[in-house]
Amino acid sequence: MIRPVNPYPVGLDLEGRRVVVIGGGSVAQRRVPVLLEAGAAVHLVSPQITPTLQGLVDAGRIRWEAREYHTGDLEGAWYVVAATRDSLVNARVAAEAEQDRTFCVRADAVNSGTAVTPAVVRRGEMLVAVLTGDRARTAEARDVVARALAEAGAEAPDTDEKLRGTVALVGGGPGADDLMTVRGRRLLSRADVVVADRLAPQRPLGELRSDVEIVDAAKIPYGRSMAQEAINAVLVDRAREGKFVVRLKGGDPFLYGRGYEEAQACAEAGIPCSVVPGVSSALSVPALAGIPVTNRGMTHEVTVVSGHLPPGHPGSLVRWEALAGLRGTLVVLMGVKNSPAIAESLIAGGRSPETPAAIIVDGSLDGQATYRCTLGSMAHTLETHDVRPPAIVVVGEVAGLPQALSEH
């Protein structure tokens, strides 16, 4: 049904309600995090999905059926998003939703669905949704609203000519979108192209202009990934086209983020590159869990180490026996799979099996959980709680301190 859009503005309570998304590409990747933020029970139908969506599936946050859309898939849905690359499939989805009296957004033809996705401005707890007759006007109107709210700390996404043909490496922080820096959010709002990791904040991507290209460079541990060389090529190629490219990463670009490799690739290609440091998960996630990585009279050093390779691996650059002899705090990133072996190595090197430890899962996100244990019981704790990435391991006396933070 093609008609002029004259939408009735309304806010939907999707908490716990079934929402069906047909399609697993970049549009779905932008819409799903916002739906999850609203509490929806998201059911995804698509033969293939992006690595970022795969990460949500693996974490149990969405349900995925790896197949083509079939009539009947919308049964019981409260809301539907038709986001495939095939306009005929999207039309079939919209027709079924119409028959079922379920509101449906068509990503490829805004005037042909029964609902319209607004352009959104977020300022803390305030959510401003803007609707007009077409996408371009909606984005312009949203930008006007953003300017009016500039005192909240984020500037309107005006195109800055001096940014064209450049790359910014932006740290997204530990995961929560409100832990991104003001500078990072400002540059993200001005991007023409965003190359985003799975662990980068996802909700801000849904607030970008509709013409912004999002390249999924998600790196799922021990799974599919986009080669670093390919990421470097995208940054350089898009910048050479005169576009402003933001490389959005989780944590900090220069702490196990391969940021220097990307900056070097840009330098070799003659592309101006800047960096926006991010709130590192190595320090912020323990803090959010109420664990100080230093404490007066208890520890004088903090060691941050990558656990992506186990002790004894020929490619490992870590001297675990030396770390075992330290008295301070050890923070292990990317080490969920290898943590049992790491604990054994530290114990073998002289660290007491009774040394306090903590495993913090989904730091800064709604599902954050902390499991206290010791080096000796770490393997059992990981298995008991079926811990999966992303998670951070803290080893040291600070992990045994009593909880001092109040619950919110």
- Coil, strand, or helix at residue 110? helix
Please tell me what DSSP assigns to residue 290. T
Residues that are catalytic: 197, 219
Say which amino acid occupies 249. K
- What are the residues whose beta carbons fall under 8 Å from the beta carbon of 362, sequence distance 6 or more? 59, 175, 368, 369, 390, 391
Strand positions, DSSP E, 124-207: 126-130, 167-171, 193-196
Q: Could you give the CA distance from residue 387 to residue 384 in angstroms, rounded to a whole number?
A: 8
> What are the φ/ψ torsions at residue 170 (nearest 5 degrees)?
-110, 125
Q: Could you give the CA distance from residue 217 to residue 61 in angstroms, rounded to a whole number?
A: 20
- What are the residues whose beta carbons fall under 8 Å from the beta carbon of 26, sequence distance 6 or more? 50, 214, 216
DSSP per-residue codes, 194-216:
EEE-TTS-SGGGGGS-TT-EEEE
| Residue among 188, 196, 199 nearest 157 (CA) | 188
Neighbours of 256 (CB within 10 A): 19
Element (H, E) at 248: strand 245-249
| Residue among 335, 134, 112, 77 nearest 221 (CA) | 335
Q: Could you give the CA distance from residue 360 to residue 344 in angstroms, rounded to a whole number?
A: 19
